[in-house]
Amino acid sequence: DPDTGVYNLSYNRLMVKGKDRLGIFMTVGKHLNAIYSKLEDLGKPLEVAVSIGNHPACAIRALAIGPYEEEELGILGALKGSPLEMVKCKTVDSMVPAGAEIVLEGEIEPFTREEEGPFGEFSGYATRAGMNPVLRVKAITHRPDPIYQDICGGQHREHLVLATIPMEANYLRVIKGAVPEVEAVRVAAAFTLIISMRKTYEGQARTAMIAAFNADLYLKHVIVVDRDIRIADLQHVLWAIATRVQAERDIFIIPRARGSSLDPSAEPLGVVDKMGIDATAKPSLDQIAPICKVPKEVMERIKLEDYIDEAF
């Protein structure tokens, strides 16, 4: 940010359009787009550096979600366990990791839009081509015999797992700050989060869901379950929805909210309807028998060898 000097680290897709021109996609509502829009209003380009082949901590921090004013390079050092050595670029006023394999230096031009895309995104769809800004490359620097580190995009596990780690950490931090009884979260699919909590009063689950939606504009579906539900087991989560949810009482909709433009079902600029599902147990469950299961002490008394022949 030219006003604060705070660095933004992020992943942004780039489309080669010429020897010194790249189409760039910046999500509306995210930090890089906010910085670019601020400078474009002044008729100025945004200087950037594209760093390829970095320490793993760089990847985790670039995908993490935090406040706009947060100093991301400092957090990067905390993840690494020591300060990350940085060097100044040659043609733009920016710093880059000294250990990067390849660095592209350039400017994102104001008031310039060219067709960019389609691209196979994490949602599992090839998003539509659109008119997006252009990054003009001014210089390329690299190490001897550089390694070009790439990520297999789309729904490949490398893409999804890399993004999920910092996302879940941020969601847990933000939601637990609003509802301390939240114990765990899991990104179950694109735009979808499951929250596990120790519910102590009615309405608490909805408070957790609202906190989740505030944590990240990408979220579209949030499901809250009790601590007895295994959130890594989607069949168990669906069982909670099937047996603990009544639609009118437990589902709420936030219409026409800001979401992700990478959602293929969204309206232009990523306008979506968001849904929260309270799949926690309700007082009405107290009126029926508890969950049916064989007591632990009974299971411990059962010896399979008493019933199954060794030759079986």
Q: Which domain CATH number covers 110?
A: 2.30.110
pLDDT tens readout for residues 212-247: 999 998 899 999 999 999 999 999 999 999 999 999
Cβ partners under 8 Å of residue 97, min gap 6: 51, 54, 55, 58, 84, 85, 86, 87
| pLDDT cut 90: percent of the chain above it | 59
Cβ partners under 8 Å of residue 52, min gap 6: 100, 101, 102, 103, 104, 146, 148, 149
Residue 56 has phi, psi (to 5 degrees) of -55, -30
Q: What is the mean pLDDT of residues 274-290?
A: 83
For residue 180, is the peptide bond before it cis, meaning its omega torsion is within 30 degrees of 0? no
Greater confidence (150 vs 21) lies with 21
Cβ partners under 8 Å of residue 289, min gap 6: none
pLDDT at 311 over 60: no
127 and 199 part of one domain: no
Hey, how many other C-beta atoms are within 10 angstroms of the C-beta on 115? 12
Which of 85, 121, 181, 248 is catalytic? The answer is 121
Buried b (16+ CB within 10 A) or exposed e, 289-307: eeeeeeeeeeeeeeeeeee
163 and 224 part of one domain: yes
Is 57 among the domain residues? yes
Q: Is 187 helix (H, G, I), strand (E, B) or coil?
A: strand
Q: Is 47 a catalytic residue?
A: no
Is 65 among the domain residues? yes
238 and 173 part of one domain: yes
Instruction: Give the chain's end-to-end CA distance (angstroms, integer).
Output: 70
Measured between alpha carbons, how far is 51 from 21 in angstroms, rounded to an integer? 16
Is 303 among the domain residues? no
